[in-house]
């Protein structure tokens, strides 16, 4: 991936990436369109110079669309990433070892049109949400399958750890 905000270690690969649907900006698009319409009506009925105020409505629409287009969600083999921001940029990385739980939700329209939100509970920090993404159930399943994969890299075999447990139990009995 060529994005400079996403820095991956040598063995880390992208498992899933996505953005919110453009429909997440529908509220701002409607509000901006209403502002433009009111300004044009005011310009036609009161003073033609009021048409300049429609720039505010156009700005609201542009801001909402840019907010959606500049939001990125990424799941790698080691972490969950969230990047957002229009003028500035906020990047958040949460290691998979910090992920405690995942869930997904879909509204009625989300169920019909195939979008929803994946929530990620983070130990020791604020939770993450991948809002208005396509196929949230698959994304959640992909993320959940990655959780614990880093934890499986504990050195030694099961038999070696059983021997360690036996020694610790012997030491505990000797101390008591």
What is the per-residue pLDDT across 33-74, written as a single tens digit (0 to 9) for each? 899 898 889 888 888 888 888 898 899 889 999 989 999 999
**pLDDT for 106 beyond 60:** yes
The alpha carbon of residue 133 and the mean position of all alpha carbons in its chain are separated, in whole angstroms, by 9
**pLDDT for 154 beyond 70:** no
- Average pLDDT value for the chain: 86
| Helix, strand or coil, per DSSP, at residue 117 | strand
Which tokens go with 97? Answer: 């070892």
Q: What whole-number percentage of the chain has pLDDT above 90?
A: 20
Alpha-carbon distance values, 141 to 28, 78, 115, 136, 174 (Å): 31, 15, 15, 8, 47
If pLDDT is split at 50, 70 and 90, which confidence band does 108 have?
very high
- Average of pLDDT values for 102-112? 89
Q: How many CB atoms lie within 10 A of CB 82?
A: 17
């Amino acid at each position: 991936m060529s994005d400079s905000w996403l820095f991956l270690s040598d063995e880390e690969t992208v498992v899933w990436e996505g953005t919110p649907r453009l429909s997440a900006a529908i509220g701002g698009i409607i509000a901006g369109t209403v502002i433009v319409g009111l300004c044009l009506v005011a310009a036609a009925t009161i003073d033609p110079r009021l048409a300049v105020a429609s720039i505010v409505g156009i700005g609201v629409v542009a801001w909402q669309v840019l907010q959606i287009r500049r939001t990125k969600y990424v799941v790698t083999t080691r972490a969950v990433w969230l990047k957002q921001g229009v003028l500035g940029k906020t990047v958040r990385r949460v290691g998979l070892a910090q992920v405690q739980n995942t869930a997904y939700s879909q509204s009625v329209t989300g169920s019909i049109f195939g979008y929803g939100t994946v929530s990620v509970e983070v130990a020791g920090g604020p939770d993450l949400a991948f809002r208005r993404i396509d196929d949230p159930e698959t994304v959640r399943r992909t993320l959940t399958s990655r959780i614990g994969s880093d934890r499986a890299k504990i050195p030694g075999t099961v038999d070696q750890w059983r021997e360690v447990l036996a020694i610790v139990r012997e030491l505990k009995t000797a101390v008591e």
